[in-house]
A and B are shown apart, each in its own frame.
Chain A
Amino acid sequence: MDYAAARCRDIIDIDVDNVRRAAVRPRAGGRPGTAGGRRPARSGRQRRKGRQMRSEDDAGRVPAEAGEVRREARAWIKEHLDPAMRLADWLEVLADSGWAAPSWPRRWHGKGLPPALAAAAQEELAAAGAPGPPAGLGIMLAGPTIIDHGTEEQKRRFLRPLLTGEHAWCQLFSEPGAGSDLASLATRARRDGEEFIVDGQKVWTSLAQVADYGMLLARTDPSAPKHHGISYFALGMGQPGVEVRPLRQMTGDSLFNEVFLSGARVAAGDLIGELNGGWAVARTTLAHERTSLGARVGGRRPFPSPAGSRLAGQREVTVAEFMARCRQRSPGRTSNADTSMVAAGAGPLIRLAADLGRDADPLVRQELARLHTICQINAWNGLRGRAAAEAGGPPGPEASLGKLMASQIARLWRETATLVCGPAAMLAGPDGPLDGQVALQALAAPGPAIYGGSDQIQRNVIGERVLGLPKEPDPSVGLPWRQLRAGPAGRGPAGGGREGGRS
């Protein structure tokens, strides 16, 4: 799930072999080539939980009209955006204006806007050609979690640097033995004076190579039942006890990592939430992750700026240079698998079918219409959820569907592309259709049904939280964690069960 987050996101594109070469990646593809987009879907960010975001100091604020927000954003951008300024300076100005994270509370660098209006502001940044705030898990997950659960001091220390790009974040949640059953995690944090010492292993960690901080879940009380002995920390990644090793995906890319923690240290002041109360904090992070992983259809977003101290050099360029580089890198990028082509909907395949002379084939026509329909419906589900939120109602069931539909769309896109291309679907890279995107998407399609909470877990969540069906009995819930049975992956290097290896 950690991998999750970055993959579908605003996406910094990391070249693992040479971090300094890492650059910002735009979304591939355009809007669907249809005349049907009269009311275009906006951004996938629509799903962010405005409810929580606004709780602090904006309760009762009447949502402004989108037009008003757009005018205000446009005016502000016009006044402040200077192509000659350093990107790093622009990010500071942007962070302090509230337009970097407009859905955050006003007190904490935001504008207290509901998600739909925050998305409108993003579109204005994009339209003006302004660099966006840093992409990645800081703004998406760490920020909202700290706003909900952090102390005043932690908010002061962590929130602004993740908006200015000073700090990049990763998510240290999943472990080899704790995937869907995240609460069974075995990484330990032991108190040592004013610090905790952390030992264990994390996996599927996106962006760990560049992260300054990790959202760390670690076990602080092995004798408590599994949900009750976990704490949530902001772990500094740049220390000797943290070792990051890239994992290679089936696409050939290395976008996520294993993280080995051996005697890593974290200050007691970097505990987020209560000691042993980390599960509640983790649930906030997971909720933001789930709601922001729906397939994104349409909507313009600004090129995100590079995040993290290790990419500081990339923020030394001028705004103009940065935007020129983004535009230059955007066409025909094929080096990293991503579902952004899928996010473009049926449009690229409709054009491809025409180019290949396949658009008269009744089967091709059926499947393209089917794909276009499901992509549009996914966007409409989002718009409907957004409309409900703006009208002040509770989020309806439609808000829970995006993640599940995103993985369905990825598969349908793959199958439709194969149908359109025929034998050419065997070819990849520069020899393959859509400059290799068809082959790449075929390889990227299985991922979305797993990362960020598998399809099966999503169905459990929908079944239990939306439909109110009874939970599956979990015999491990009430038992002390140290007595739980661990599968092979959950055993430590020394072998043996938890009882022997981990206490």
Chain B
Amino acid sequence: MTTFVFTAEQQELRQTLRKFLADHSPPAQVRRLMETEEGYDPAVWSLMADQLGLLGLTVPEEHGGLGCGPVEQVVVCEEMGRALLCAPYFATAVLATGALLASGDGRAQAELLPPIAAGSMIATLAVAEQDGAWSARGLRTRAIASPGGGHRLSGAKSYVIDGAIADLILVAAQADGGPSLFAVRAGAPGLTRRPLRTLDLTRKQAAVEFDEVPAALIGTEGAGEEIVSRTVRLAAVALAAEQVGGAQRCLDMSVEYARLRVQFGRPIGSFQAIKHTCADMLVDVESARSAAYYAAWAAAQDAPDLPLVASMAKAFCSEAYFRVAAENIQVHGGIGFTWEHDAHLYYRRAKSTEVMLGAPAEHREVAAGYLLGRAGQPPGRPGAPGGPGAPGMPARPS
């Protein structure tokens, strides 16, 4: 497994998916779906499961999946980001599947991963609360052990990706034994979900309230912090790849337009003002790509510096994507800020994912923890349990 060298299978996966998305997620389809409440097309979702096996991409083969790893996940997310696919893939196949795999709970995996892989169960992960932090520290949602077995959850989650349509919500909650992960089924008594209006029209979010909702413990009590930080770390790498795909599409749009659009008797791409803008966009896109790919291989090898490079990648790709998405609008001039042009859809996704799973400054602080140590302490070794920089995400302000 050589860093930066995709295998023939991985390249084929990319080509197959690119064609699939061209057929099933063209811009017109994106626009149709973004106006719907559910935000996805069940028929396409089934095809993704049946035809491509995508929903079980990282699910082990014994649970009906393909058994692939972070590098394949990065390929897939990059292509989906490029096509701006409207589907609960990130929630289901990255966040929820990642959490189930990180939990090490064989029984839960055997029960929940097969329907996820088969496309019959949309799932998500609910960690953030009102403050928006993707960390299991300082959670206000409580899990109380029921006398008859199981737990009951009370509290509120927000920023739950595809939370309104999920059949399964994995919830980080504070139990007696510490932060823990729980499974809640759609339709459970006491569960209320409210779709949120979002900046990014192509990916839905929900607020979810729990009033003594019956829930099943996933993994062990107190394991929630480790499960969440591990899941979020890998999800940050996948999201960085999604940002690379989106940024590439913005650059492609700009270059195509700059070649065709004529003013003052010349294609505008021949003017240095536009040409240099496009060149800077390329630097951003390729640099973001290197960062996301490097992080993917670090994740695939479970490298000790993964927490550092995952945060570096997320911080850089977030800012690069937004810069490129914003410049794309400028290159297009008047048409660029109309509703009809797709530029704003990418701009919305870029701004939204910039802060999703932690804003760039937060990730830089995580990186600084590894490089400089927490204030006044020596630098930690990435991956060392309990080291100064060990948590994958900044802690909630207390």
Contacts and interface: CB of A to CB of B under 8 A. Distances in A.
B367 interface: yes
Interface string A293-307: 000000000000000
A397 interface: yes
A37 B367 CA distance: 13
A501 to B, nearest CB: 30
Contact of A377 (B271, B278, B291): B291
B3 A368 contact: no
Interface in B263-303: 266-267, 269-272, 274-276, 278-280, 282-283, 286-287, 289-291, 293-294, 298, 303
A346 interface: yes
A472 B275 CA distance: 9
Given A35-B381, A346-B371, A381-B290, A469 B5 contact: no
A469 B278 contact: yes
A466 B372 contact: no
Contacts of B269: 463, 469-470
A397 B283 CA distance: 9
A51 to B, nearest CB: 18
A362 interface: yes
B4 A388 contact: yes
Contacts of B119: none
A384 interface: yes
A370 interface: yes
A39 B293 CA distance: 13
A404 to B, nearest CB: 6
B365 A387 contact: no
Given A401-B286, A469-B255, A472-B271, A462 B365 contact: no
A260 interface: no
B364 interface: yes
Contacts of B381: 35
Contacts of A33: 371
B309 interface: yes
Interface in B333-390: 361, 364-365, 367-368, 370-373, 375-376, 379-382
B341 to A, nearest CB: 20
B270 A368 contact: no
A5 B10 CA distance: 39
Contact of A365 (B272, B280, B287, B372): B372
B282 A462 contact: yes
A458 B312 CA distance: 26
A372 B270 contact: no
A498 to B, nearest CB: 25
Interface centre among B308, B316, B381 (most CB of A within 10 A): B308
Interface in B1-50: 2-5
Determine which residue in A346, A377, A378, A396 has the highest number of CB atoms from chain B within 10 A of its CB, and name it: A377
B305 interface: yes
Nearest to A405: B283
B258 interface: yes
A450 to B, nearest CB: 16
Most buried by A among B5, B259, B309, B312: B312
B290 A384 contact: yes
Chain A interface size, as a band, is: 35 or more
Residue among B270, B271, B372 with max Cβ neighbours from chain A (10 Å): B372
Given A35-B382, A473-B270, A366 B368 contact: yes
A476 interface: no
Nearest to B290: A380
Nearest to B304: A38
A377 B270 contact: no
Contact of B272 (A366, A383, A460, A466): A460
Interface in A331-365: 346, 350, 353-354, 359-360, 362, 365
A383 B298 CA distance: 14
Contacts of A360: 375-376
Nearest to A390: B5
B293 A384 contact: yes
30 contacts: A34-B379, A35-B305, A36-B305, A36-B308, A36-B371, A38-B298, A39-B3, A350-B371, A362-B365, A365-B364, A373-B315, A373-B364, A376-B294, A377-B287, A380-B293, A384-B289, A387-B2, A387-B3, A401-B282, A404-B283, A460-B275, A463-B279, A467-B279, A468-B255, A469-B275, A469-B278, A470-B259, A471-B270, A472-B270, A473-B270
Interface of A: 33-39, 346, 350, 353-354, 359-360, 362, 365-366, 368-370, 372-374, 376-378, 380-381, 383-384, 387-388, 390-391, 396-398, 401, 404-405, 456, 458-460, 462-464, 466-473
Given A372-B367, A463-B278, 13 more contacts: A36-B309, A359-B375, A360-B375, A365-B364, A366-B368, A369-B365, A377-B291, A388-B5, A459-B276, A464-B275, A466-B279, A469-B259, A473-B266
Listed from nearest, the 5 A-B pairs whose CB atoms lie closest are A360-B375, A463-B275, A469-B269, A365-B368, A459-B279
